[in-house]
Structure 1
Amino acid sequence: MARLNSFHHPAQGWPSAVGETVRFSGAEAHHMLAVLRTAPDQIVRLFDGLGRVGLFKVQKTDRNTALLEAVSLESHPAQDTGVTLAIGWGKSKRRDYLFEKLVELQGLGVAFWSAARSQGQMPDTPKESWRDKCVQAAKQCGNPLLPTITVLPAGLGGLLDFARGFDRCYVAWESDEADRPLTPADLSCGTSLIVIGPEGGLEHDEALALLEGGFVPVTLGQSILRWETAATYCLSLGWFARQGDK
């Protein structure tokens, strides 16, 4: 069977049973109809980003909307084990890459925080374009769950408050004081938060404050990694750690 085209449908209005119909509109519907020229009687895949996925038959279309009938529905539970990254904010054109890998490797989320060496003005709230990048990645790779995206206020204090919601907390620190490597076993059970500094790394005082807050210092190896490489490395370890549960 050929791979079905996949589209994001908001959780609001999701059908509760096979045979129910939904009226599909907005940017995703425009892509389905105007770009991919989806016709009546074709089958498409929809997902809501919260774990619900379905196959839908196109009943009717007009220029901007489509009436879709649910052919099959399934639900995927939220992950109780996974990695969330806390990344020091910086001016970067590589955030799109981060969102793509975050979805592909099924990370739970990312939080941006303002570190001492952060550059540029961090927005007060997540940008809609960030979520759009996650949606596009999920359509491509088939992940039914969209990651959370958070912007933390109050710098280091906000990060420490945020960390209270996790089972394990690690800080990737480029220092001789961090000689313990991060391993898949560290990420194999429960929710894990991993702090990655901005370009230039963490200030020593920041790292010490995180250690005092209960974070475990870890090394990502001998090379000094760009933040997006460090992020992908951590996500890959988390992905590998969960493969035994498949």
Structure 2
Amino acid sequence: MQRYFVAKEQMNDHMVLIHGEDVKHITRVMRMTEGDQIICSNNFDRVCLCEIDRFEDDQVVALIVEDLPSKSELPVNITIAQALPKGDKLDYVIQKGTELGAAQFIPVQGERSIVKWDGKKEGKRIERLSKIAKEAAEQSHRSRIPAIESLHTLEKLIERKNEFDHLLFAYEEEGKTGNHKQLADVFAKAESGESLLFVIGPEGGFSEAEAVKLGEAGFTPTSLGPRILRAETAPMYILSAVSYYFELER
């Protein structure tokens, strides 16, 4: 069943008002009619089964049939701070990371990032990435759309460390020690509802200076196993491991 996200003020006890591009999707793409059922989420704490009541000039009015339980969010909140990779790889990270349950994405300008964002175009880039996240959240039946933050420097990211319960960064040099248990050790300490910030480097990984800065700030250097993963693969590994540990193993 098709799922749509609305702002909290567009949903009351009995009715949902759908605006914007979703109106075109309902009427022109899905060709829905009165009586068709959809699922609506207020992107916060409520998911409802709704029935389309009527079509107005710029909105669709749907009546709430019943509230639905939502079990599609990870038990812990994962923020992926991704150093800018080449090409359209960030699109892939946002899309697949949303499907796998990430709560938030923070683009980071890494020392070895080849891509440099033009400040004048950053707003459009964030808007585009937010649209990718919305579509992926609808497809995967998420209850919430992950937030896409503005571009951060590593220093700005470190300044925000107190917002999170656990801090980690993927560091391939750590894997050379043969110790691949850091991720499991952090998971064992994390409780449901807590937040984890995981920082991932670009192609080429973090420089030694960046690794030192993160380590001194309290971030745990973490191996992702004995194989070297691509920049866009690492977030998928992490989110899959989180899902297995917190949703399937327990």
Which TM bucket (shorter chain)?
Answer: 0.7 to 0.9
1:23 aligned to which of 17, 26, 45 = 17
Q: Is the 8 A contact 2:41 2:47 kept in 1?
A: yes
> Greater share of helix residues, 1 or 2?
2
Farther-moved stretch of structure 1 (193-202 vs 78-87): 78-87
CA–CA distance in 1 between the matches of 2:102 and 2:133? Answer: 11
State how 1:196-215 maps to structure 2 within 5 Å. 196-215=200-219
Check conservation: 2:85, 2:231, Cα contact below 8 A.
Answer: no
**Which amino acid counterpart does residue 199 of structure 2 have in structure 1?**
V
Counterpart contact for 1:170–1:218, Cα < 8 Å: yes
Instruction: Write the letter of the residue equivalent to 1:239.
Output: S
Q: For residues 179 and 14 of structure 1, what CA distance do their matches in structure 2 show?
A: 52
**Does structure 2 retain, via aligned residues, the 8 Å contact 1:185–1:241?**
no
Distance (whole Å) between structure 1 residues aligned to residue 243 and residue 201 of structure 2: 21
In structure 1, the partner of 2:238 is 234
Distance 2:109 2:92 in 1: 20
SS in 1 for 2:26: helix
Moved more, 74-83 or 212-221: 74-83
Give me the whole-angstrom Cα distance separating, in 2, the residues matched to 1:245 and 1:179. 24
Distance in 2, Cα, partners of 1:131 & 1:93: 14
Q: Distance in 1 between matches of 2:69 and 2:46?
A: 4
Report what 1:221 is aligned to: 225
- Distance in 2 between the 1:174 and 1:84 partners? 20
Give 1:170's match in structure 2, choosing from 168, 171, 182.
Answer: 168
Question: In the TM superposition, what are the counterparts of 1:175-190 in structure 2 within 5 Å?
Answer: 175-176=173-174, 179-181=178-180, 182-187=182-187, 188-189=190-191, 190=194
1:137 CA drift (Å): 1.1
Unpaired segments ≥5 residues, structure 2 = none
Once the two structures are overlaid, the 10-residue window that deviates more, 4-13 or 68-77, is 68-77
Aligned to 1:36: 30
CA distance in 2, matches of 1:103, 1:193: 15
Contact 2:11 2:17 in 1 (8 A): no
Q: CA deviation at 1:210?
A: 0.8
Alignment of 1:1-246 (within 5 A): 4-15=1-12, 17=13, 20-62=14-56, 64-74=58-68, 81-122=76-117, 123=119, 124-125=122-123, 127-153=126-152, 155-176=153-174, 179-181=178-180, 182-187=182-187, 188-189=190-191, 190-243=194-247
User: Matches of 2:169 and 2:195 in 1, distance apart?
Assistant: 14
Deviations 1:152-177 (A, max 9, x none): 43x22112112221111111112157
Task: Return closer, same or farther for 1:243/1:22 CA change in 2, 3 Å cut-off.
Answer: closer
CA offsets, 1:19-68, max 9 Å, x none? x2333221011101111110111111111222321111111125653221
Identity %: 24
Question: How far apart are residue 6 of structure 1 and its match?
Answer: 1.4
Counterpart CA distance in 2 for 1:106 and 1:47 is 16
Q: Return the alpha-carbon distance in structure 2 between the equivalents of residues 185 and 52 of structure 1.
A: 33
The answer on whether the counterparts of 1:110 and 1:148 sit within 8 Å (CA) in structure 2 is: yes
Count of paired positions: 239
TM-score of the two chains, using structure 2 as the length reference: 0.85
Gapped runs of 5+ residues in structure 1? Answer: none
How far the C-alpha of 1:237 sits from its partner, in A, is 1.1
CA displacement at 1:232 relative to structure 2: 0.5
How far does the alpha carbon of each residue in 1:77-135 deviate from its partner, in whole angstroms, 9 at most, with x for none?
Answer: 98662321111123321222212222222112111111111122235556111111111
Query: In structure 1, what residue type is equivalent to 2:104?
Result: G
Displacement of 1:14: 1.5
Does the CA-based 8 Å contact 1:21-1:70 persist in structure 2? yes
